[in-house]
Amino acid sequence: MDTAGWDEPQEGLTSFGLGSCTVCEDLDFDNYPIELEADPLRSKIVRLRNLYASGKSGCEVCAILSEGISSSISEDVPQKANVRITLRLEASTLVEVVWRTDAINRRVKLEFYTRRNLPSAYPAFGFARDVPAQLDLPSCMDFLHKHIKDCNEEYICKEARETWPPNTPALLPSRVLEVENTTDGLKARLVMASDGQRSDYVALSHCWGRSKNMLTTTTRTLEQRLAAINWDNLPKTFQDALTITAKLKMKYIWIDSLCILQDDQKDWEIESAKMGDVYAKSYLTIAATGSIDCDGGLLNTRKRLFDEETKLVVPHRIKEVLHPFTNAKTKIFVRHALSSGPLQLRNAGYSATKTMLAPLLTRAWCLQERLLSPRVVHFHGEEMVFECKTMTRCECTALDFEHNRSVRINGLGPHSFKYRFNRTTSHGGDTGDIARFWLELVALYMDLKLSKEKDRLPAIAGLAKMVGRFFDSYYDPMRSAYPKGTTRYVAGLWRHELPESLLWRRSASVERCWRSDSDVPTWSWAAIRYENNQDVGGISWERSNSTHIDSRCKVIEVHGPPPGINEYFSFPDGRISLRAATMSAILIPVTSRDLRGSFNETAHRIRAGYTLSFNGEMDSDDDVALDLTLDETNATINFAYKRIYCILIASISDSSFAGHKLHQPYSDRVDVALIVRKSSEGLYERIGLSKHSKRRGRFEDAPIQMMHLV
C-alpha cells in the first residue's frame, strides 16, 4: 500500500483521559473509522512520533506498540513515518510502518498477539501461535498429527469421508518408494506394486527446477533403483519428505521423477495418465510449496516478504501487563506479520509474490495435485498450511476460527479455492455449477507456468477426469445427444458445453504469443503457446449471465479421439462442424492515429492493432482479439489484408463495450464471433475472437454456412 494512498494523520499531540487515548483509541474497534458496513477490518493512521510520545506520557497500549516497533525494526525510522493500526475482529492486531528512504518507500508489517492459553488484557491483541523461525521435525510432526487427527475425527470432514474413506487403503500406484527405518538410519528403494496391492501412501508435489541434483529413474537406472537408493544421492526435498513419511509410520511414498521412467515415452504416457488418481487416492500429499527446486527442502529457515532481511524474526515478548479485572499477567508478543501463506492459498491464480514464497503454486502441474489430493500439507516459505476437503489450517492459527468474520470475508478458511472445488464436484452440485467452474478453472490454469508446453492438456487431465465422472453421474439419456461412454471431452472442451465454450480469448498481458503447430486443434484454448514457456498470460471467457446462443448456430458434429486413445491428452485431429451465420471480412492493420477519437483506441493497441472491413466498411468500435502475435515477415502467420470469416456464436450483455450508445435498442448487447481463416479446402482455423455492437445489426442478414473447424 503506497503512502500516497493514506490520509494524513493528525499532527498535534492529543490529550489523554483515564482509559482513553486519542492516538491509539485504546484499540477499541468501535472507535476506529468505518470504511464499509460490516467490515471486520478497521484501520487508523497515526504519526510514529505521536505514538512514541503517547507511550511516554502514560498510554500503556501506545507504549506496547512503540516498543514492538523499535524492537522489530533494526534501522532508524524517521519520526514522521506513518503507522497504520489495523484491528481485526477475533484476531491479532496489525501495525504497518511506512517511511521513505532515498526516494524508496519502505514498509514493515508487524503482528501483535497473545498466546492462546494466556488471558488477554486487551481483546485487540488476539490469540495466535508462535511460528518458529527454523522449522524442525518435532514441530512439523506436532502440527501434522494434530490436523490429520482432526480431519479423521471431526464432523466437518464426514461428508468428504463418504467418497474418500481414510480407513480404506488405496490401490498402490505402479511404482512407489519404500521407506524402511533401520538401525543405520532410513533406507529407500523403488518397488513395483503387485496387482491389487493396497496400502496407504504419501505423494510429493514439488518443483523440478533447474537443479543438477534432481534424481530420476530411467530405463538404464531402473534395476539400480529397485535394489537401493543411496540416501546421500537424494536431494534435500526428497530426504525431508521420506523422513516425514517414516515419522507418520507410513511405508510408501510416490515421487514422480523416481516412479515414472523419464526416458520412456510410452511409460510416461501410461503413468502420467494415472497421476490424477495417484494424488486423489493418497493418504497425504506433501507439497514443497516454498521451494523452487528439489534442493530447497521442507525443514528450513522461514522467510518473510517485503522486508530487507528474508529470515523470519523469532517472536519477541514485549512485556507483561495485568488483566484489569483478574490481575492475571498477560504476555504480549510481536512478530513480522504472517499472512501470505493463507492468502496465496485462497486462489489458484498466478501472482508475483508466489514466486518468492510459494513458487510451487505458480506451476500448472501443481493445480491438479493440490485440488485432487484429499489432504495437503504445504511447506510454505513462511509457515506450514494444512488443507483437506473441508478446512484449511495454518501454524499461526489465523485460519483456526471459521466463524471469524475477518477470515471469511477475506476469502480464507472454508472458502478457499480447494474447498470450492470439492463442494462444486460433490454430488450436491449440478451440471451448470460444474460447467461454470470448469471455465473458471481453465482460466486460472492458463495463468500458471509450464516448462513444456506440450504438457498443457496432460497437466489438467486428472481434473478433467473428475469433472467427467461428475457429468456421467448426471447423465440423462433422454436429454443427451451423445451415448453414455462416448467421447465427451475434446482438447479441453466438453461437447455439451459447445458452442459457448468456444468463446475464449487470450490475455493481452503477454506480448509474444504463438499457436501450437499440430498437437492441439486451433479452436481449443490449449493451442495457445507463449514465446517464453515461463511467461504467464491466461485466458478469459466472453460470457455473461444473459448469454444467448444465436438460434442459427448449431453444432452438427464433434470429431473426437477414437476408442483406445486417451481423450484427456492432445488430439490434433479434433474437428468441430458448425452451421452458423457467417460473414467474410478483411483483417486491416490500424494505428493509434487511425483510431483517434474511438472509444476503443486502448483496446486496439492491446489487441495487436487490427480491425475488420466488411464489404469495405470498417467500424472502429469493433473489438478484435487475435489468438496469436502476427509476424509480418512470416506469410503463414501474417493475416494482414487477408480474407477471414466471422462465425456468429452468441450475444452477451456487456455494458463496458466501447461501441454502446445508451438508450438505443440492444444498447447493452454484443455479438460475439469466432474469427477463422481457410486452412485448406473446406477446413478453417481459428485465429481470434471479435465483438460487435448488436444494435448495428452486422449479422442480421448474414448467410448461414457450414464451417468445419480444425
Q: What percent of the chain has pLDDT over 90?
A: 38
Average pLDDT over residues 19-41: 79
Q: Quick one: pLDDT at residue 608?
A: 45
Q: Quick one: pLDDT at residue 663?
A: 47
Q: Is residue 59 part of a domain?
A: yes
The Cα 304–Cα 307 span in angstroms is: 7
The Cα 213–Cα 216 span in angstroms is: 9
Q: Select the highest-mean-pLDDT range: 238-247, 408-417, 588-597.
A: 238-247
Q: Quick one: pLDDT at residue 463?
A: 94
The answer for residues whose C-beta is within 8 angstroms of residue 625's C-beta and 6 or more apart is 505, 506, 508, 607, 688, 689, 690, 691
Q: Is residue 146 part of a domain?
A: no
Q: Quick one: pLDDT at residue 169?
A: 84
Q: Is residue 393 part of a domain?
A: no
Domain that holds residue 626: 476-710
Q: Is residue 606 part of a domain?
A: yes
Comparing 62-66, 164-168, 611-615, the range with the smallest average pLDDT is 164-168
The answer for residues whose C-beta is within 8 angstroms of residue 259's C-beta and 6 or more apart is 173, 174, 175, 176, 177, 190, 217, 271
Where a domain ends, among 298, 319, 340?
Answer: 340
Cell of residue 391, nine digits: 478446512
The Cα 644–Cα 640 span in angstroms is: 10
The Cα 472–Cα 483 span in angstroms is: 11
Where a domain ends, among 315, 340, 365?
Answer: 340
Q: Select the highest-mean-pLDDT range: 13-27, 340-354, 450-464, 594-608.
A: 450-464
Q: Is 194 exposed, middle or buried (0-12, 13-18, 19+ CB in 10 A)?
A: exposed
Q: Is residue 196 part of a domain?
A: no
Q: Is residue 672 part of a domain?
A: yes
Residues 216, 233 contacting (CB under 8 angstroms):
no
SS3 per residue for 119-152: CCCCCCCCEECCCCCECCHHHHHHHHHHHHHHHH
pLDDT tens-digit readout, 323-351: 555 566 778 888 888 766 666 676 555 55
Q: Is residue 312 part of a domain?
A: yes
Q: Taking the CA atoms of 453, 508, 531 and 591 in sequence, report the sign of the dihedral they define.
A: positive
Q: Quick one: pLDDT at residue 313?
A: 43
Whether residue 217 has pLDDT greater than 50 = yes
Whether residue 416 has pLDDT greater than 60 = yes
Average pLDDT, the chain: 80
Whether residue 7 has pLDDT greater than 60 = no
The answer for residues whose C-beta is within 8 angstroms of residue 512's C-beta and 6 or more apart is 530, 531, 532, 629
Where a domain ends, among 340, 361, 393?
Answer: 340
Comparing 27-36, 661-670, 686-695, the range with the smallest average pLDDT is 661-670
Whether residue 65 has pLDDT greater than 70 = yes
Average pLDDT over residues 459-482: 76
Number of structural domains found in the chain: 2
Whether residue 564 has pLDDT greater than 80 = no
The answer for residues whose C-beta is within 8 angstroms of residue 275's C-beta and 6 or more apart is 256, 368, 369, 461, 462
Q: Is residue 63 part of a domain?
A: yes
Q: Quick one: pLDDT at residue 389?
A: 82
| Total-model pTM | 0.84
Cα–Cα separations (whole angstroms), residue 92 to 126, 154, 339, 396, 560? 4, 26, 11, 10, 55
Whether residue 39 has pLDDT greater than 70 = no
Residues 672, 542 contacting (CB under 8 angstroms):
yes
What distance separates the 2 farthest-apart alpha carbons in the chain? Answer: 89
